[in-house]
Amino acid sequence: MKVKAMVLVKPGCLELREYELRHPTGEELLIKTLVTSVCSTDIKVFHGKIGAAGYPVIMGHEFVGEVVEIGPGAAKRYNVAVGDRVTPEPYIPCGHCHWCRTDHHYHNCPSVSTYGISLSCVHPPYLLGGYSEYVYLIPGTLLHKLDPGTPDLAGSLSSVVGNGVRWVKTLGQMSFGQKLVISGAGSQGLCALAAAKEAGVGPIVMLGLSSDQARFELAREIGVDSIVEVDRKDPLQFVPIALGAAPDVVIETSGAPAAIQTAIKLVRRSGRVVSIGLTGGKETPITFDDLVWKDITLVCGKGQAGNVGDAMRLINSRKYPFDKINNFNYRLTDLEKALNDTEHPPKGFIKAAVVFDK
């Protein structure tokens, strides 16, 4: 049986190719892809800005699929059956090194592989990214199941919701009743908002641009308390009014240098700034005297290691409309448009997803 996949042959060059399916061996599983959400990292891989990318590569590391065949070793390792819907964590750690023995840092494993980024399609089993009709899940994969009724569009965001949990719980160390500012109204900010609401954090203010109305609408549905459009109002003036005090934590997801600087000015004395947005190589001037005099903890991080389990409990609870984050849907052959819309968002855009025929 031949199946189709979009292959990034080299930076900027996508090709639709066909591959012959084979039976999974050892600890492999074969899944039929249902939804692959487009990540901003895909844009960087597409443009050749990720050093770990293994061209040619089938991109896509945020995906959900239905198990169609299970290798003999995988049947013993994973508690899944044919017909189950599953989502893998993007990182495949070695499982043996110092980093892999930590709860929340196994993505720092020196031998780590990543679906859709570092796993080239030069060698079998070839299909190792979500922009393919089928994907092989290889040994070492960390796998999570979707409950019946959980939307595929929500399940594909397991790692993004995992990030939200990480920013709030692991890096932010937030607790019930603490005041939070989320800078950036994209998928990272929206998932952090849901994680914060679930943890009893509040009140919560979200910062964004006046063009973010679709994102603000979803933020209100999730339960944000206040919104500040930073191109119309000064957050340094309006956030303390909205919260009644300076925030305990600011989660900065946008990566804009000015937003990082604002986060440091906004947070209370002895507060925490969680800065996870990439600037794209731009330098961000920081006056470290401000950090010292205000006794601020500035923490940065990537990935969702150790947080996807909590994320899946949140997704499977169906308390929050995560599926609405993937609000622009595309076919596999329209992947280049999905990438372009992600890089240059049209009006109303939150996040793109490639949706496959069931």
Range of the domain at 26: 2-156+326-355
Name the pTM for this structure: 0.96
Q: What is the pLDDT of residue 320?
A: 98
Is residue 315 one of the residues assigned to a domain? no
Give Cα 231 distance to the centre of its chain.
26
Domain count, the chain: 2
Q: Tell whether 280 is covered by a domain.
A: yes
Q: What amino acid occupies position 286?
A: I
What per-residue confidence (pLDDT) applies to 158?
98
pLDDT number for residue 115: 97
CA dist., res. 36 & res. 65, Å (int) = 9
Contact 319, 295 (CB under 8 A): no
Each residue's pLDDT tens digit, 226-257: 999 999 999 999 999 999 999 999 999 999 99
Query: How many helical (H) and strand (E) elements, i.e. helices and strands, does the chain have?
Result: 11, 17
- Do 138 and 225 have their domain in common? no
pLDDT of 358 reads 72
CATH code (residue 51):
3.90.180.10
pLDDT at 173: 97
Compute the distance between CA of residue 208 and CA of residue 232 in angstroms, rounded to an integer: 10
What would the DSSP string read from start to end of 283-348? -----HHHHHHHT-EEEE--S-TTTHHHHHHHHHHT-S-GGGGS-EEE-GGGHHHHHHHHHSPPTT
pLDDT, one tens digit per residue, over 287-337 is 999 999 999 999 999 989 999 999 999 999 999 999 999 999 999 999 999
* Residue 31, Ramachandran bin (φ over 0: left; ψ between -120 and 50: alpha; else beta): beta
Q: Are 138 and 264 in the same domain? A: no
Predicted local confidence at residue 280, as pLDDT: 75
Residues of the chain with pLDDT under 50: none
The Cα–Cα gap between 61 and 115 comes to 5
**Across all residues in the chain, what is the average pLDDT?**
96
100 and 116: one domain?
A: yes
**Cα(299)–Cα(54) distance, rounded to whole angstroms?**
30
Please give the pLDDT value at position 213.
97
Query: Is the peptide bond between 247 and the residue preceding it cis, with omega within 30 degrees of 0?
Result: no
Residues 175 and 246 in one domain: yes
226 and 264 belong to one structural domain: yes
Same domain, yes or no: 120 and 36? yes
> How confident is the model at residue 185, as a pLDDT?
97
